[in-house]
């Protein structure tokens, strides 16, 4: 009688508890959805930052390539009136072929304007007061310099100066070559990306000076924002994300940044927190309204219908149904499904265990779940499982190595979720869904092997050489410039391997590759391992005489290494035979194979002439000087 008397109150209390749990779970789910929305926005923003930084780097490097060409002409032809007149035509042509360029300028050692792609009167114009000019005048560095944004003296708009110094033959300061990029170019490009009403994209120098921003606002350009949290963090870590209040407009933003490892640039993308969460707020209100209505209905019916025995029977049925569903899904799955108890032992193992790890479910049940994991991976797995047991995490995903009964070591990916006792709600174990990821890992390894560096010598591999060759061929064909190639073969290398062993042979190839790489000093030159003991040195915009000089430098550099080689008389040191060839690409030139074939024939001629020599090939498809200028 006592139990019956208290049963309505007990049932009512239970209904209240259930309704409160539903509301709490709904709120927790919405909070998780909110956090997921923020994480998704963070990931999307980080991916966008990576792409936009690549665009900025490519844009500056394309402009720098134009500057390098002008510096080369000035240092080769000098700054005579005739040379400057030819350079004027070249600057005009380069500007029309590169939409990123605002203008190209050449200043003398005193800052006076010598020549420019702009239609302005040069008389009396002087830029010796500009930061970039002062930098190059006072520093002997030959690298590219990206200055602070300034107002153009020829057009009045904001520009980003990119410059290099050029020198007199004795190494003295001769002047500055400047290329300018409109800030508006980046602002227009960034306007294509939807960042929301409060979002922004910014290109910032590593010194904290804002170079370009969208939404565009001239008052922000050139401002020093080095004190902002994102710039401070960018100086400590190459990439990352954070939430902060902007010092420019006071808005709270979710931001991602990435610092260039090639240029002094930082790309910053920000989205307003309110913009990111706007869609979630509307959807969350609808969902919580539905949950609240459903909870009210359950509460109304539960107060009249719930009985202690009925509730116990229902709970038992739910547990049994869930267990049956779990086993049905687990046994039908091709993945290995297992349940781990709080003591770390396997309570349940699905039949697919024999396919994934080689042991049957019966053999694994009751054993320690983490016993076969590789020692290097075990601490992370132990820590993750322990965090799940303590309730610090509800789920996790891990990739680790473990033993297979017959295959040895395999890679496994496991998704882990905690399970709870249906009556107490306490964590009673962990469910793991595991799959074999070995093939996926092997594919990753194969892709990594396709990198641009040769694994033995560290210089460019054949794939990188071919890609660069194609690019430079088309560039020189467009500009009417020559392309030169050295094919370099180590003399009697088989005898070296036979006499000193393959390890010594590998070290020999590394030393030879390093010597060739030192010869390739210009940015556009590329030294590559062409195959076996054969190397290649590609030299765009190099004439036949320059090609032959470079071949002789490479030959002497390798001979002077003094690597003993008793199978290579009479010098008994490692030497090379070199074939050099030059092609002036034109519509009459079939393809790049023309140059390779010519260099290869010259290499055979060098070997036939007794080795340790350089042999040039005839110039192929040479254009007349006027034809090259008009190309």
Residue 164 falls inside a structural domain: yes
Q: What is the pLDDT of residue 381?
A: 85
Range(s) of the domain holding residue 588: 462-630
pLDDT of 590 higher than 70: no
pLDDT band at 222 (very low <50, low <70, confident <90, very high): confident
CATH of the domain at 572: 3.30.70.270
Residue with tokens 């297992």: 338
Q: What is the pLDDT of residue 87?
A: 84
| 442 torsion bin: left (phi>0), alpha (psi -120 to 50), beta (else) | alpha
Alpha-carbon Rg for the chain, nearest whole angstrom, is 35
Taking residues 604-615, report their average pLDDT: 94
CA distance 234 to 225: 12
pLDDT band at 434 (very low <50, low <70, confident <90, very high): confident
Same domain, 364 and 260: no
Residue 558 falls inside a structural domain: yes
DSSP 178-206: EEEEEHHHHHHHHTTS---TT-EEEEEET
Same domain, 374 and 429: yes
Same domain, 302 and 347: no
Residue 467 falls inside a structural domain: yes
CATH of the domain at 433: 3.30.450.20
Q: What is the pLDDT of residue 510?
A: 95
Q: What is the pLDDT of residue 328?
A: 53
Same domain, 430 and 490: no
Q: What is the pLDDT of residue 1?
A: 47
Cβ–Cβ < 8 Å for 183, 107: no
Question: End-to-end alpha-carbon separation of the chain, Å?
Answer: 107
Choose one of 263, 289, 306: the last residue of a domain: 306
Residue 396 falls inside a structural domain: yes
Q: Which residues have CB under 8 Å from 475's CB, separation 6+?
A: 481, 540
Same domain, 95 and 131: yes
CA distance 67 to 105: 9
Same domain, 348 and 200: no
Q: Domain total for the chain?
A: 3
Q: What is the pLDDT of residue 315?
A: 56
Residue 4 falls inside a structural domain: no
Q: What is the pLDDT of residue 608?
A: 92
Taking residues 409-420, report their average pLDDT: 86
Cβ–Cβ < 8 Å for 181, 160: yes
Cβ–Cβ < 8 Å for 100, 59: yes
| DSSP letter assigned to residue 231 | H
Residue 608 falls inside a structural domain: yes
Same domain, 416 and 357: yes
**pTM attached to this predicted model:** 0.44
Same domain, 419 and 549: no
Percent of the chain topping pLDDT 70 = 89
CA distance 382 to 388: 10
Please state, rounded to an integer, the average pLDDT across all residues of the chain: 84
Choose one of 387, 409, 444: the last residue of a domain: 444
107 bridge partner residues: 113, 176
Residue 339 falls inside a structural domain: yes
Choose one of 264, 287, 306: the last residue of a domain: 306
Q: What is the pLDDT of residue 627?
A: 36
Count of C-beta atoms within a 10 Å radius of residue 314 = 12
CA distance 193 to 187: 11
Same domain, 488 and 566: yes
Q: What is the pLDDT of residues 1-59, one digit of tens each?
A: 455 556 666 777 777 888 888 888 888 888 888 888 888 888 888 899 899 989 988 88
Taking residues 156-178, report their average pLDDT: 90
Residue with tokens 């539905």: 290
Residue 21 falls inside a structural domain: no
Count of C-beta atoms within a 10 Å radius of residue 174 = 20
Q: Which long-range contacts (CB under 8 A, 24 or more apart) does 17-20 make?
A: 18/298, 18/302, 19/295, 19/296, 19/298, 19/299, 19/302
307 bridge partner residues: none
Same domain, 55 and 193: yes
Cβ–Cβ < 8 Å for 538, 485: yes
Same domain, 429 and 496: no
Same domain, 147 and 241: yes
Percent of the chain topping pLDDT 90 = 28
């Amino acid at each position: 009688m006592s139990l019956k008397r208290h049963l309505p109150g007990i049932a009512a209390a239970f209904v209240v508890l259930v309704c409160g749990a539903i509301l709490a779970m709904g709120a927790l789910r919405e909070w998780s959805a909110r956090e997921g929305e923020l994480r998704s926005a963070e990931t999307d923003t980080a991916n966008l930052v990576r792409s936009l930084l690549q665009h900025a780097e490519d844009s500056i490097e394309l402009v720098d390539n134009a500057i390098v060409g002008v510096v080369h002409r000035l240092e080769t032809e000098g700054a005579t009136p005739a040379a400057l007149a030819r350079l004027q035509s070249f600057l005009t042509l380069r500007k029309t072929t590169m939409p990123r360029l605002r203008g190209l300028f050449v200043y003398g050692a005193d800052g006076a304007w010598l020549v420019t792609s702009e239609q302005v009167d040069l008389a009396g114009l002087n830029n010796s007061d500009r930061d970039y000019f002062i930098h190059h005048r006072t520093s002997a560095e030959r690298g590219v310099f990206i200055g602070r944004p300034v107002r153009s003296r020829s057009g009045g708009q904001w520009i980003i100066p990119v410059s290099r110094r050029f020198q007199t033959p004795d190494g003295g300061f001769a002047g500055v070559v400047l290329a300018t990029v409109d800030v508006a170019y980046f602002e227009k490009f960034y306007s294509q990306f939807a960042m929301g009403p409060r979002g922004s994209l910014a290109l910032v120098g590593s010194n904290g000076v804002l170079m370009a921003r969208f939404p565009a606002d001239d008052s922000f350009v050139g401002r020093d924002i080095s004190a902002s949290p994102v710039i401070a963090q960018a100086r400590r870590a190459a990439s990352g994300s954070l939430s902060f209040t902007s010092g420019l407009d006071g808005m709270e933003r979710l931001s991602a940044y990435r610092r260039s490892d090639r240029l002094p640039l930082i790309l910053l993308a920000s989205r307003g927190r309110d913009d990111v969460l706007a869609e979630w707020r509307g959807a969350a209100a609808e969902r919580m309204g539905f949950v609240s209505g459903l909870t009210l209905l359950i509460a109304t019916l539960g107060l009249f219908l719930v009985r202690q025995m009925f509730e116990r029977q229902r709970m038992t049925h739910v547990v049994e149904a869930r267990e049956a569903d779990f086993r049905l899904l687990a046994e039908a799955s091709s993945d290995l499904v297992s349940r781990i108890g709080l003591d770390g032992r396997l309570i349940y193992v699905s039949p697919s265990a024999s396919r994934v790890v080689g042991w049957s479910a019966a053999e694994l049940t009751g054993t320690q779940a983490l016993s076969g994991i590789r020692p290097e991976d075990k601490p992370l797995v132990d820590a993750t499982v322990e965090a799940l047991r303590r309730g610090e995490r509800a789920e996790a995903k891990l990739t680790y190595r473990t033993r297979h009964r017959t295959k040895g070591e395999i890679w496994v990916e496991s998704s882990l979720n905690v399970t709870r006792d249906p009556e107490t709600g306490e964590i009673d174990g962990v469910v793991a869904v595991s799959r074999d990821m070995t093939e996926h890992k092997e594919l990753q390894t194969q892709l990594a092997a396709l990198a641009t560096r040769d694994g033995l010598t560290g210089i460019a591999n054949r794939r990188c050489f071919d890609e660069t060759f194609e690019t430079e061929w088309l560039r020189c064909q467009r500009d009417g410039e020559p392309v030169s190639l050295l094919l370099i073969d180590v003399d009697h290398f088989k005898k070296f391997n036979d006499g000193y062993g393959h390890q010594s042979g590998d070290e020999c190839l590394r030393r030879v590759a390093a010597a060739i790489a030192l010869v390739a000093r210009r940015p556009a030159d590329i030294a590559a391992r062409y195959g076996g003991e054969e190397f290649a040195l590609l030299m765009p915009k190099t004439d036949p005489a320059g090609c032959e000089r470079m071949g002789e430098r490479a030959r002497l550099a390798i001979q002077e290494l003094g690597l003993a080689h008793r199978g290579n008389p009479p010098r008994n040191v490692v030497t090379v035979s070199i074939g050099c060839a030059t092609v002036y690409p034109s519509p009459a030139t079939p393809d790049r194979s023309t140059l390779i074939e010519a260099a290869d024939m010259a290499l055979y001629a060098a070997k036939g002439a007794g080795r340790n020599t350089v042999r040039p090939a005839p110039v192929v498809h040479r254009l007349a000087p006027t034809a090259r200028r008009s190309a």
